[in-house]
Amino acid sequence: EWQCVQSKGCFFLEEDGEIISHQYRMQIAQRSMVYLTIKPLNLRKPSPWLSVDTTLYILKENESQANLQLMCFTELRNGEVFGWTGELGPGMYWLIPSTTGCRLRKEVKPITEEAQLVYRDETGELFLTQEFRSALSDIFEVIDLDGNGLLSLEEYNFFELRTSGEKCDEDAWAVCRENFDTKKNELTRQGFMDLNLMEANDREGDPRDLWVTLHSMGYNKALELTEACPFVIDIYADKCKPRIKAVHMEACSGQLEKAICKSVLNKGDAKVMDGYENIIVHTYKRDTWITSVIENKSDNKVIIHINNELSKNCVNNRGLNIFAVEVAPKSTMVCQHVMPLNERQEWIYYCVQWLWEDLPGPAPSCCSAGDMQPFSACLCTSSLHLLLCLFSLELLPSCRVLQLLKPRDAVPPSPTLAAIQQAAKIGATGMLLDVEFT
pLDDT above 50 (res 92) = yes
Any domain includes 150: yes
Answer with the residue of higher pLDDT: 14 or 48: 14
Q: Per-residue pLDDT averaged across 263-279, rounded? A: 94
Task: Work out the pLDDT band at 254, boundaries 50, 70, 90.
Answer: confident
Based on the fold, state whether residues 252 and 305 are members of the same structural domain. no
Q: Residues, the chain, total?
A: 438
CATH number of the domain enclosing 197: 1.10.238.10
pLDDT tens string 9-18: 999 999 888 9
* Structure confidence at residue 217 (pLDDT): 96
Domain that holds residue 11: 3-106+228-257
Any domain includes 395: no
Any domain includes 262: no
Answer with the residue of higher pLDDT: 363 or 24: 24
Rounded Cα distance, 19 and 225, in Å: 15
**H or E, element range at 355:** strand 352-355
Rounded Cα distance, 178 and 187, in Å: 11
pLDDT above 80 (res 405) = no
Based on the fold, state whether residues 88 and 174 are members of the same structural domain. no
Rounded Cα distance, 131 and 221, in Å: 12
* Structure confidence at residue 112 (pLDDT): 83
Based on the fold, state whether residues 156 and 94 are members of the same structural domain. no
Based on the fold, state whether residues 173 and 220 are members of the same structural domain. yes
Q: Per-residue pLDDT averaged across 280-302, rounded? A: 95
Answer with the residue of higher pLDDT: 122 or 356: 122
CATH number of the domain enclosing 296: 2.60.40
pLDDT above 80 (res 285) = yes
Number of separate domains in the chain: 3
Any domain includes 408: no
Interacting residues of 34 by C-beta distance below 8 A, sequence separation 6+: 28, 85, 86, 87, 88, 235, 236, 237, 242
* Structure confidence at residue 106 (pLDDT): 86
Any domain includes 251: yes
pLDDT above 90 (res 434) = no
pLDDT above 70 (res 41) = yes
Based on the fold, state whether residues 20 and 92 are members of the same structural domain. yes
* Structure confidence at residue 251 (pLDDT): 76
- 217-223's contacts with Cβ under 8 Å and 24+ in sequence apart are 217/12, 217/139, 217/142, 217/162, 217/163, 218/10, 218/12, 218/13, 219/135, 220/107, 220/111, 221/111, 221/113, 221/114, 221/115, 222/111, 222/113, 222/114, 222/115, 223/115, 223/131, 223/132, 223/134, 223/135
Closest-CA residue to 410 (of 374, 373, 435): 435
pLDDT above 50 (res 389) = no
Any domain includes 403: no
Q: Per-residue pLDDT averaged across 247-257, rounded? A: 83
Q: Per-residue pLDDT averaged across 269-296, rounded? A: 95
User: Average per-residue pLDDT in the chain?
Assistant: 83
Based on the fold, state whether residues 186 and 40 are members of the same structural domain. no
Based on the fold, state whether residues 281 and 330 are members of the same structural domain. yes
Rounded Cα distance, 56 and 107, in Å: 25
Q: Per-residue pLDDT averaged across 57-71, rounded? A: 86
pLDDT above 80 (res 45) = no
User: Which of these three, 358, 376, 391, is where a domain ends?
Assistant: 358
Based on the fold, state whether residues 187 and 239 are members of the same structural domain. no
* Structure confidence at residue 65 (pLDDT): 65
pLDDT tens string 410-422: 334 444 445 444 4
Based on the fold, state whether residues 278 and 345 are members of the same structural domain. yes
Rounded Cα distance, 88 and 70, in Å: 12
Any domain includes 410: no
User: Above pLDDT 90, what percent of the chain?
Assistant: 70
User: Which of these three, 334, 358, 382, is where a domain ends?
Assistant: 358
User: Which of these three, 329, 358, 387, is where a domain ends?
Assistant: 358
Q: Are 61 and 89 in contact (CB under 8 A)?
A: no
* Structure confidence at residue 365 (pLDDT): 33
Based on the fold, state whether residues 89 and 154 are members of the same structural domain. no
Any domain includes 202: yes
pLDDT above 90 (res 376) = no
* Structure confidence at residue 197 (pLDDT): 95
Strand pairing of 76-78 and 81-88?
Answer: antiparallel
Based on the fold, state whether residues 190 and 272 are members of the same structural domain. no
* Structure confidence at residue 252 (pLDDT): 64
pLDDT above 80 (res 227) = yes
Rounded Cα distance, 14 and 397, in Å: 13
Q: Per-residue pLDDT averaged across 369-395, rounded? A: 32
Based on the fold, state whether residues 10 and 100 are members of the same structural domain. yes
